[in-house]
Amino acid sequence: MENEPALDLDEVGVAYGPALALENINGMVAPGEAVALIGPNGAGKSTLIKAILGLLPLAEGRITVLGHTPAAARREVAYVPQADTLDPEFPISVGQVVLMGRYRRIGWLRRPRAADRAAAARALEQVGLGDRAKHRFGTLSGGQRQRVLLARAIAAEPRLLLLDEPFNGVDAVSEQALLAAIAALKKEGAAVVVATHDLALAHLACEEVCLLNRRQYGFGPAGTTLTPERLRATYGGHALELRGDRVIVAHS
């Protein structure tokens, strides 16, 4: 459907055991739009991402991804974990990591074809690392590794992209490359969800924000939703810290 939301959260609740880790989460993301999930450590950002991926069952409500259940839509969804979740000692080249993004499309048993290799090479170009395909993944900097993981997601040609703290510990060059690649994906019509602590980057990458801390403290355009009152409520009154021209929520 033309106007179908890429993501629809309807009264979502998720529990690990008897207690709810998230409750009453609502919101919609349209194709070509990005939403930042903002909240302190332990707020439930990763939990929501896992639920959208269909990796956690819902205790309440419903998640609709591209008109389907999360499990049925999984092929159209790409996930970028934090770079430090992939063992840098693992002997794999940058090109091989990016090519892994194609496997959900081609199946694990078929060998990648020229078109798959071309898509992987394009994705690596898009994050500004076209010349690193043969390098060992573990020899890159943290920021470059994060860009490689984004290239892997781009190679999957997702209609919904989920990123968990993509800017953590990333240098300025990588930050710009990540922002540019996210903007390009949105232009192609992909919807994007970014869990982040960095309000300034959330503002740059996303038109919408979702303020979370077990429950929802706001969902809407960044400009009107990121008010000091709502941020204080979300962070339980903890201090907001300024670093350079950045607002970084430091004491969560």
- Could you list the residues that contact ligand ATP (CB under 6 A)? 16, 21, 39, 41-47
What's the min distance (Å) between Cβ of 197 and ligand ATP? Answer: 7
What's the min distance (Å) between Cβ of 142 and ligand ATP? Answer: 17
**What is the C-alpha R_g of the chain?**
18
What's the min distance (Å) between Cβ of 101 and ligand ATP? Answer: 23
DSSP code at position 98:
H
Output 49 or 120, the one with its CB closest to ligand ATP.
49
How far is residue 63's CA from residue 241's CA, in Å, rounded to a whole number?
Answer: 34
How far is residue 42's CA from residue 109's CA, in Å, rounded to a whole number?
Answer: 38
Output 99 or 202, the one with its CB closest to ligand ATP.
202
How far is residue 145's CA from residue 246's CA, in Å, rounded to a whole number?
Answer: 23
What's the min distance (Å) between Cβ of 42 and ligand ATP? Answer: 4
Output 47 or 174, the one with its CB closest to ligand ATP.
47
118's enclosing H/E stretch is helix 114-126
Output 47 or 64, the one with its CB closest to ligand ATP.
47
What's the min distance (Å) between Cβ of 44 and ligand ATP? Answer: 4
Distances (CA, A) of 104 to 96, 107, 129, 166, 213: 14, 6, 23, 22, 32
CB contact burial 14-48 (16+ within 10 A = b; e otherwise):
bbeeeebbbbebebbbbbebbbbbbbbeebbbbbb
Output 25 or 148, the one with its CB closest to ligand ATP.
25
